[in-house]
Amino acid sequence: MPIATTNPATGQVLKTYDAMPDEEIDAAIERADLAYRQLRGTTVDQRGRWLTAAADLLEADRDATARLMTTEMGKTYAAAKAEVTKCATACRFYAANAAAFLADEPADAPAVKATRAFVRYQPIGPVLAVMPWNFPLWQVLRFAAPALMAGNTGLLKHASNVPQTALLLEDLFRRAGFPEGAFTTLLVGSDAVDRILSDPRVRAATLTGSERAGRSIAQIAGRELKKTVLELGGSDPFVVMPSADLDRAAEVATTARCQNNGQSCIAAKRFIVHTDVFDAFAERFAANMSALRVGDPMNDDTDVGPLASEGGRDEIHAQVRDAVDRGATVLCGGEPPAGPGWYYPPTVVTDLTPQMRMWGEEVFGPVAGLYRVSSYDEAIEVANGTNFGLGSNAWTRDPDEQERFATDLDAGNVFVNGMTTSFPELPFGGVKNSGYGRELSALGMREFCNTKTVWVGEGAASAGAGAHAE
């Protein structure tokens, strides 16, 4: 895939880049390793000042950065501005909380026959980040902010269709004051990932992307014995029970499906509705989806912009056509508009069966699958009946059902009466084919730390009877 900025609203190629040659990749890895040796010797307070400066720069440059993201991948300008603000918030969160997250944790010294015992969190070195185009700033910042605060350095291999955003990120951390090489963008194709991750100076990798990409990274890292965190696809359920506030559920469902033009791993994709309220919800939901305005993502009144690529639009249309050909019913949408740009209308499809692609595949665009169920148990069966387990939503005012959903939904995130989203304060990640490991919160920061056990005994005292290794 070429490394290029192509405006998805017009299909016009605006700027192209050559892939970095091997010698430039080696030089970038060397700079990252040298920067790590410098960064790990700085204080948390100093790193916090740099990260706060990055937040200041993000806020000052918000509008220009948002326009760039909209140009490169088609999200609405309003959504892009909100993404920049969210990134600044995350930077401030880690600048304020890193000291507590990295503080030594005392253990029960007498229980382990020590005078002192504790856990210490220390950085591990350069980390390769392979990142997607759909949230081109946020996906990177939610890795970079905690990683840099921990004292690691970052090597970014961004998606090939957002090269200017990728270069902006490198420049951001340089302008904020971080040492040269602390965060470096590598303009390379996916064929260079094996070489980069195999380099002994690169100590770990994180990836947000497809199952296929996750398996590839995991295979390389397994061979090299390196830590990975993977956030992969999702086909999130949105369950609506009889006690739910239907107006509010249908309103949030519309946003949950069409946020970011429907291109989010944690967007609700499968709407599982109890038969007692199915017709009422379906009517509200289809009406809301039909009312969304599709158009130029730079316009203030646009709700849904283009998909990021022509191939992405063709793929979701093929999934819809497969369902229709096998007997599904389209309540709204379902046909791409004529004209330039890679647009697709908000679409609701019902009467789905397991033989249809939409039943088991992730649909990465503004297309909702609507499922009718007759009981709580059937809702759980359908919700958990995929290989994915990233986010999930449940709508019920019944306290017992709320508690059961929190336990029974097989996902890394359960949101009750609200839309799945990510917060710096909460861990984020999935189970099953949605990946492993966690981003955000203290857990995300510690994923790329050496969790070191420290045991201190009395000078020359013996270990004591019965002591044994391991």
**pLDDT surpassing 90 at residue 337:** yes
* Cα angle value 447/455/110 (rounded, 5°): 115
Per DSSP, the three-state class of 86 is helix
Q: CATH number of 3-232+430-456: 3.40.50.720, 3.55.30.10, 3.40.605.10, 1.50.10.10?
A: 3.40.605.10
For the chain, what is the largest distance between any 2 Cα atoms, rounded to a whole number of angstroms? 82
Is 265 noted as a catalytic residue in this protein?
yes
Are 289 and 332 a contacting pair, CB within 8 Å?
A: yes
Q: What are the DSSP E strand ranges found in 241-287?
A: 268-274
Spatial separation of the C-alpha atoms in residues 329 and 421, rounded to whole Å:
29
- pTM of the predicted structure, to 2 decimals: 0.96
Q: Residues 314, 319, 320, 323: is their CA dihedral positive or negative?
A: positive
In this prediction, residue 459 carries a pLDDT of 75
The two three-digit tokens of residue 346, written as one number = 């908000």
Given the residues 87, 91, 265, 332, select the one marked as catalytic.
265
| Catalytic choice (231, 362, 401, 439) | 231
Q: Give the model confidence (pLDDT) of 414-456 as tens digits.
A: 999 999 999 999 999 999 999 999 999 999 999 999 999 999 9
The mean pLDDT value for 367-384 works out to 98
Cβ burial, residue 61 (10 Å; 0-12/13-18/19+)? middle
The pLDDT of residue 65 is above 60: yes
- For the chain, the domains span 3-232+430-456, 237-416
| Contact call for residues 44 and 122 (beta carbons, < 8 A) | no
Spatial CB neighbours of 215, under 8 Å, sequence gap ≥ 6: none
Residue bearing tokens 């895939």: 1
**Packing angle of the helix pair 246-258, 278-291 (nearest 10 deg):** 50
To the query of whether residue 231 is one of the catalytic residues in this protein, the response is: yes
Check pLDDT > 70 for residue 467.
no
Which residues share a beta bridge with 236? 268
Residue 1 confidence (pLDDT)? 79
Q: How confident is the model at residue 173 (pLDDT cuts 50, 70, 90)?
A: very high
Whether the per-residue pLDDT at 465 is higher than 90: the answer is no
Q: Which residues contact 321 (CB under 8 A, 6 or more apart)?
A: none
For 186-211, the pLDDT digits (tens) are 999 999 999 999 999 999 999 999 99
Give mean pLDDT, residues 2-26. 98
In the structure encoding, which two tokens stand for residue 333, read together?
A: 């949408």
| Closest residue by Cα to residue 107 from 456, 381, 459, 461 | 456
pLDDT at 470: 52
**Topology, domain 237-416:** Aldehyde Dehydrogenase; Chain A, domain 2 (3.40.309)
What gap in Å lies between CA 16 and CA 159, rounded to an integer?
A: 13
Query: How many angstroms separate the CA atoms of 385 and 272, rounded?
Result: 12
Give tens-digit pLDDT for 94-133. 999 999 999 999 999 999 999 999 999 999 999 999 999 9
Phi-psi category of residue 18: left, alpha or beta, with phi > 0 → left and psi -120 to 50 → alpha? beta
Q: Are 286 and 331 in contact (CB under 8 A)?
A: yes
> d(Cα 36, Cα 432) in Å, to the nearest integer?
33
The encoded tokens of residue 246 equal: 């239907």
How many angstroms separate the CA atoms of 140 and 132, rounded?
9
CA dihedral (201, 205, 210, 214) positive or negative:
positive
Q: How far apart are CA 46 and CA 96, in angstroms?
A: 12
Is 289:254 a contact under the CB 8 Å cutoff? yes
What is the model's pLDDT at position 464? Answer: 45
Q: Is residue 466's pLDDT more than 90?
A: no
